[in-house]
Structure 1
């Protein structure tokens, strides 16, 4: 693989601090149908061989010893897994722009789990990918963390879950509802990409004792433990697509971040183009 983009490389530097921090559980509530169970191991996915089209909930459980995420993509007709991986080695941003990104679960620490509901609108070959790099900066997918599965046409069509909060992804920022307090506990976020580039919504909790100023300083000069802790989120979707992240948030200060490389900005991660936003989760008692 070519060098990991800057945002994902910065995430690697968080591992030492993150693995010693209290893990947040992220099961969330779902919308009726049993979720498709996927295990993220070191370094492979354990997943069913196939699912049917329509709205589908995946539950990713990190059973490994390293942080992992799950990015889902659909390969266009005529493209093989080997073709796609070869394109990734040449130019990650261009390769991702050439497939349909359908979402997935953001970075989880060992022992964490989270659900995401995505629309597998078309049959075909899909891939599960983990771009999280190891301590040497090598993406897990280059170590074998790539799994294909087939989506076939199904008769029953499930409905997406009811959203508690709606987020719009734009070039380059996150649009949240104005004047809405985000409270602790299980919740579903509807995440829509208004594009035109592909975007993700990674969720990080700011470490205790740290501030957004510390995060900004670290992004400028990444030295020492990273001041944010992975807390899941929604992986990248192509323009016009929507996914639903099932979150379970504790009170505290958080940020949203998009690390997708921009094909129109020489592969610069979207976070470097301004796609990073703080938000606060308040305790329910604070709303009374």
Structure 2
């Protein structure tokens, strides 16, 4: 997000602190309710203009040449798209706290796709936003990657979407990730139920360490970002407001990973949550290793 330059500097401290943190692990499958297809291109979203209220599974496919994600927000009554974008330029943390963050798909590489099931509980104007910066550090939304759509009240007799069965429950708190004790995360298709217990807005971005790389390599790269990144985007769940839940559909391969939240904290001078300790390494193991 516009977590850009300050995020990179402050995240270094959190990563170094996380080196001694225990690694984790887990297992799963997936399914969702009514579906919306979205394409992320350079620099726009191709998406429906109207969606009914209720639990909805968004499938984001990155058809561009750069990494992209999709953050969903609902504008409060009286706020325009232009007004919100102006607020973002002034102070990202304050601007995000002024809208309802309803989730979204974390960063994907070109050609990749992922699903997220979220609750569009209220009618209104929603925005799809990509905060991922380009090579010059300019957020994609500043290049036009913002799309508005309307959420309309579903008919009273409309069929209710069936929620996915969660393989793992993750709680987001100020400032950390809470997972069940002793959980083992195994490879394959799975669904994680991600709930924000706040009070600030939170996200769960997922990255896989590149082959042969360690958390020390990640910390070194963030201190001096030269050459290929030692982490590979693996999607995840974009930010939700306190009390909201989303279901992220993952397909994980064995390896070492980390989850982090980069949302800036209005209560902590805009520091990214990762710099406040909201980062956690975990490990995905082969199914044959789970005995």
Same fold, TM exceeding 0.5?
yes
Unaligned runs of 5+ in 1: 12-27
Going from structure 1 to structure 2, the CA distance change for 1:274 and 1:219 (only over 3 Å counts) comes to farther
Partner of 2:74: 74
- State the alpha-carbon separation in 2 of the partners of residues 137 and 274 from structure 1: 24
Q: Once the 2 structures are TM-superposed, how far is the Cα of residue 2 of structure 1 from its aligned partner? A: 7.4
Partner of 1:111: 111
Going from structure 1 to structure 2, the CA distance change for 1:131 and 1:174 (only over 3 Å counts) comes to same
| Relative contact order higher in (CA < 8 Å, ≥ 6 apart) | 2
CA contact (8 A) 2:40 2:64 kept: yes
Matches within 5 A, 1:142-221: 142-155=142-155, 156=158, 157-221=160-224
Partner of 1:273: 276
Q: Once the 2 structures are TM-superposed, how far is the Cα of residue 8 of structure 1 from its aligned partner? A: 6.5
Q: How many pairs does the alignment contain?
A: 271
Q: Once the 2 structures are TM-superposed, how far is the Cα of residue 162 of structure 1 from its aligned partner? A: 1.1
Partner of 1:29: 30
- State the alpha-carbon separation in 1 of the partners of residues 41 and 2 from structure 2: 23
Going from structure 1 to structure 2, the CA distance change for 1:9 and 1:246 (only over 3 Å counts) comes to farther
- Note the alpha carbon deviations across 1:233-255, whole angstroms, 9 max, x for none: 00000001000000000000000
Unaligned runs of 5+ in 2: 12-28
CA contact (8 A) 2:74 2:101 kept: yes
- State the alpha-carbon separation in 2 of the partners of residues 128 and 29 from structure 1: 24
Q: Once the 2 structures are TM-superposed, how far is the Cα of residue 94 of structure 1 from its aligned partner? A: 0.3
- Note the alpha carbon deviations across 1:140-183, whole angstroms, 9 max, x for none: 00000000000001132323211000000011111111111000
CA contact (8 A) 2:76 2:100 kept: yes
For normalisation by structure 1, the TM-score amounts to 0.90
Partner of 2:38: 38
Which stretches of structure 1, 4 residues or longer, exceed 4 Å deviation after superposition? 8-11
Partner of 2:24: none
CA contact (8 A) 2:202 2:261 kept: yes
Partner of 1:21: none
SS at structure 1 position matched to 2:85: helix
CA contact (8 A) 1:8 1:133 kept: no
Partner of 1:20: none
Partner of 1:49: 49
Q: Once the 2 structures are TM-superposed, how far is the Cα of residue 224 of structure 1 from its aligned partner? A: 3.5
SS at structure 2 position matched to 1:178: coil
For normalisation by structure 2, the TM-score amounts to 0.89
Determine if the alignment matches structure 1 residue 238 to structure 2 residue 241.
yes
- State the alpha-carbon separation in 2 of the partners of residues 151 and 58 from structure 1: 14
Partner of 2:19: none
SS at structure 1 position matched to 2:266: coil
Please give the root-mean-square deviation of Cα atoms over the aligned residues, in Å: 1.9
